[in-house]
Amino acid sequence: MSSRETLADKMEFPPETPQPNIYPLSWQRQTSKMEEVWAAAQREQWDPARLPWDSFHPEQYEWEEREAIAFWWTLLSVFDASAPPVFAEALIKTYEDHEEDPVRRCFFSVTRDEQNHEQMCGLAITRLLDHPDPLTYQPKSELGKKLQRNARWLYYNGGRYWNGYKRAVPKYSLAVLFSSFLMGEIAAATIFQQMAKSCDEVVFQEAFRNIGRDEGRHMAICLALMERDYPKLGEEDAAVITKQIRAGYLFLSALLFEPPAEFWDLPADFIAVQQQADEVARNAGFGIPTREMKLENWRRAMLNLKGVLDRYGVPFPAIPEVGITGQEVLDVDLEEIIPVF
């Protein structure tokens, strides 16, 4: 069909617009909980550049300490630097699906928040390393060298899922996507609240408080959407969710506990090097939880999620790593992980 073919001279009204069409001309408001969360997001907006950076003097730390703390932020970036495009893709889906107006706004706010979190990672890393990129930085300590190798492997692994995600988004309903998102948000809310309490630097305390509050709102968005959609969830969707939860566990464990070899392709000494760095950072006043605390937090986050899914009769996967029994999921498709954070 030529693009010059005109219709307006042949008919009174235009033909139906083929769907999915990117723009809804409609502002339906049904889910009042979403309105509340959006209002909170507007009130609680913050700017990483305006944190009290003047109070932060990285030169007071040893290079090994600076590199150890920067590594933690790099690890966080593997998740948070992909969050803006991940949620931007989901935001587009809410428009294609003609989701109600507050749902679109909430997703917009998540995208913006995650951009803030990414900025925060960049600001912290740049100050700590005096260089804006942990992969091209010249390490100063022995530990720093090993950490950069760890960072390279993390980066390589994290880069594997984007194409899978782009394939998954159009295939799944928002309800399915949300179960994966919720998992990330529960986990994130937990870790940031804890970090806010256990870091000495004011600038990090404030950042973690803000990020933790953002993640709490993201969690509320997921819960509100599940409350709306899960009562009418099909059995097929439920099965996909069970699988995605197991996949999300494997993926997020790298940040919240230890990277399982089932997904993460890493050198044999990766975990030992990271534990060493955690210890150095902790002693320097950057309160990364101990292995036992990580395990306990992660277990509790999983049990919270299980509590939500139980309510809707969605079978929970077995997560023997943290002592949770459930449905055995053996065939996690690593190409189709919905990355979450």
- What is the DSSP annotation of 197-245? HHB--HHHHHHHHHHHHHHHHHHHHHHHHHHHHGGG--HHHHHHHHHHH
* Contact assessment for residue 276 and residue 143, using Cβ atoms and an 8 Å cutoff: yes
Nearer to Fe ion, 215 or 278 (CB): 215
Q: How far is the CB of 195 from Fe ion (least distance, A)?
A: 13
Q: What angle do CA 241, 246, 250 make, to 5 degrees?
A: 140
CB 242 to Fe ion: min, Å: 22
Q: Which residues bind Fe ion (CB under 5 A)?
A: 114, 117, 215, 218
Closest CA to 49 of 115, 136, 105: 115
Cβ proximity to Fe ion, 48 vs 134, nearer residue? 48
Q: Residue 80 in contact with residue 121, Cβ under 8 Å?
A: yes
Residue nearer to Fe ion on the CB measure, 137 or 341:
341
CB of 249 to Fe ion, least distance (A): 17
Q: How far is the CB of 79 from Fe ion (least distance, A)?
A: 8
Peptide bond preceding 317 in cis form (omega within 30 of 0)? no
Q: Rounded to an integer, what distance in angstroms lies between the CA atom of residue 237 and that of residue 245?
A: 12
CB of 117 to Fe ion, least distance (A): 4
* 117 vs 127, beta carbon nearer Fe ion: 117
Q: Name which of 66 and 218 has its Cβ closer to Fe ion.
A: 218
With a CB cutoff of 8 Å and minimum separation 6, the contacts of 315 are 238, 239, 242, 309, 326, 327
